[in-house]
Amino acid sequence: MPETKATKNQSIKMENKYKNSDAYRAVIHDLIPGGAHTYSKGDDQFPQLAPAAISHGKGAYVWDIDGNKFLDCSMGLTSVSLGHAYEPVLEKVKEELYKGVNFQRPSYIEKEMAEAFLALIPCHDMIKFAKNGSSVTTAAVKLARAYTGRDLVAFPGDHPFYSVDDWFIGKTACDRGVPEKTKELSLTFKSYDIESLKALFEKYPNQIACIITEPEKEDDQPQGKYLKEAIELAHKNGALFIIDEMISGFKSALPGSTTKYKVEPDMCTWGKGIANGFSFCALTGKKAVMELGGIRKTGEEKVFLASTTHGGETHALAAGLATIAEFKKHNVIAHNHKLGDLLMSGLKKAIAEKGLEKNIHIGGTNWFSYALFKDEKGSVSLVFRTLVQQEMIRRGVLYQGAFVPCFSHSEEDIKYFINAFAESCEVYQQALQNGVDKYLIGPETKPVFRKHL
Ligand X SMILES: Cc1ncc(COP(=O)(O)O)c(C=O)c1O
Binding site for ligand X (CB under 6 A): 132-134, 137, 161-164, 214, 244, 246-247, 271
Q: How far is the CB of 424 from ligand X (least distance, A)?
A: 26
Q: Are 132 and 350 in contact (CB under 8 A)?
A: no
Smallest gap from residue 231 Cβ to ligand X (A): 18
Which of the 8 DSSP states describes residue 95? H
Beta carbon nearer to ligand X, 282 or 360: 282
**Backbone phi, then psi, for 130, in 5-degree steps?**
-155, 180
- The least distance separating ligand X from the CB of residue 121, rounded to whole angstroms, comes to 17
d(C-alpha 355, C-alpha 340), whole Å: 22
CA dihedral 84, 89, 94, 99 (to 10 degrees): -140
Whose CA is closest to 356, among 450, 441, 424?
A: 424
Q: Cβ closer to ligand X: 59 or 256?
A: 256
Among residues 133 and 346, whose Cβ is nearest to ligand X?
133
Task: Give the residue at shortest CB distance from ligand X.
Answer: 133
Measured CA to CA, the distance from residue 242 to residue 267 in angstroms comes to 5
Q: Which residues contact 246 (CB under 8 A, 6 or more apart)?
A: 133, 137, 214, 269, 270, 271, 272, 281
Cβ 283 vs Cβ 128: under 8 Å: yes
Amino acid letter at 80?
V
Nearer to ligand X, 64 or 214 (CB): 214
Q: Which of 224, 212, 226 is nearest to 285 (CA)?
A: 212
Contact call for residues 171 and 183 (beta carbons, < 8 A): yes
Using the minimum distance from each CB to ligand X, give the nearer residue, 163 or 191: 163
State the minimum distance, in angstroms, from the CB of residue 149 to ligand X: 25
Shortest CB 40 distance to ligand X, Å: 8
The smaller minimum CB distance to ligand X, of residues 170 and 396, is found at: 170
Nearer to ligand X, 117 or 428 (CB): 117
* Helix (H) / strand (E) containing 269: strand 267-270
Q: Is the peptide bond before 255 cis (omega within 30 degrees of 0)?
A: yes
Nearer to ligand X, 82 or 420 (CB): 82
240 within 8 A of 276, measured Cβ to Cβ? no
Shortest spacing between CB 249 and ligand X, in angstroms: 10
CB 256, min distance to ligand X, A: 12
Least distance from C-beta 26 to ligand X, angstroms? 27
- What would the DSSP string read from start to end of 9-63? T---B-PPP-HHHHHHHHHHHHHSGGGSSSGGGSGGGS-SSS-SSEEEEEBTEEE
Residue 350 or 398: the one with the smaller Cβ distance to ligand X is: 398
Interaxial angle between packed helices 314-330 and 87-97, expressed in degrees from 0 to 180 and rounded to the nearest 10: 150
- 34 or 442: whose CB is closer to ligand X? 34
By beta-carbon proximity to ligand X, the closer residue of 155 and 384 is: 155
Least separation in angstroms between CB 161 and ligand X: 5
Non-local (6+) Cβ contacts of 271 within 8 A are 79, 132, 133, 136, 246, 249, 280, 281, 282
CA–CA separation, 92 vs 133, rounded Å? 23
Smallest separation, CB 384 to ligand X (Å): 24
**Could you tell me the smallest distance in angstroms from the CB atom of residue 223 to ligand X?**
15
